[in-house]
Amino acid sequence: MHQFISYIKFLIRSTNQHGVHSPFVYLLLTKCFYRKGKKESILKLKQFRKKLLQDKKNINVKDFGAGSRVFKSNKRQVSAITKNAGISMKRAKLLNKLINYLEIQEVLELGTSVGLASAAMAIDTKANILTFEGCPETASVAQHYFKDFNLNNIKIKVGEFDELLTNLSPKKSFDLIYFDGNHQKEPTLKYFQKLLPQAHNNTVFIFDDIHWSQEMEEAWDIIKKDPNVRVTIDSYYWGLVFFRKEQEKEHFTLRL
């Protein structure tokens, strides 16, 4: 019910490029998100997803996040995870286009799952993806398909996020950080603060499922108010954060 109500509110508030007066955001919409992706890339993405949807193997999922609203057991079929918990094809295309448009080189992903988002960011891009996954069996599935599709620009690490983040070099910076591993308020805010030093002026943070719950919406509101944050885009499923100091602080609610 919360998601239904929040989506109605989003539809009322949201606009498209015609309601945007920021040149940066206007170009992001018209030159990136609203343009068609490369046919070759889309075909590879569809093939990757199709392979996962055909995988009937059962795995035991170790869930460190907010849990699942679909699955009642930790024993889950790879195809079901792909269908119910994996990134949609639409968002996979958007990720792929964004990586290329912003010429992203270094990516950190929190929450690999079966690897759909990782693949979207890796296929036909120049990006190097470092992705963290808490569940060993889920990570094993993702690694298998990365290898099967020759996605050698993805490196996966397995473990609890707190430990993996602690081991990150403080000198390491990322062009894009994708937060999709824990849909709870406190962990989201903790990871946001912990990774701020890894961001530079042109870095983009993407938070998945910002309207998942009331507490995720609260986390999103706190992130928007952070003094380091200059521009945000609420696309309902995603919250995009930019740190461009040359920009006026603005918040957009946009249909992607």
Supply the CATH number for residue 157's domain: 3.40.50.150
What does the alpha-carbon distance between residue 24 and residue 2 come to, in Å, rounded to a whole number?
32
Closest CA relative to residue 80, chosen from 60, 116, 62, 55? 55
Structure tokens belonging to residue 144? 């298998």
Number of domains composing the chain? 1
* Structural domain containing residue 202: 2-253
pLDDT in tens, the chain (256 residues): 788 899 998 989 898 888 788 999 999 999 999 999 899 999 999 999 999 999 999 999 887 655 454 555 688 999 999 998 889 999 999 999 999 999 999 999 999 999 999 999 999 999 999 999 999 999 999 999 999 999 999 999 999 999 999 999 989 999 999 999 888 999 999 999 999 999 999 999 999 999 999 999 999 999 999 999 999 999 999 999 999 999 999 999 999 9
SS (H, E, C) 190-251: HHHHHHHHHEEEEEEEEEECCCCCHHHHHHHHHHHHCCCCCEEEECCCEEEEECCCCCCCEE
What does the alpha-carbon distance between residue 85 and residue 105 come to, in Å, rounded to a whole number?
27
Q: Please classify residue 25 by burial: count the beta carbons closer than 10 Å to its beta carbon, then call 0-12 exposed, 13-18 middle and 19+ buried.
A: buried
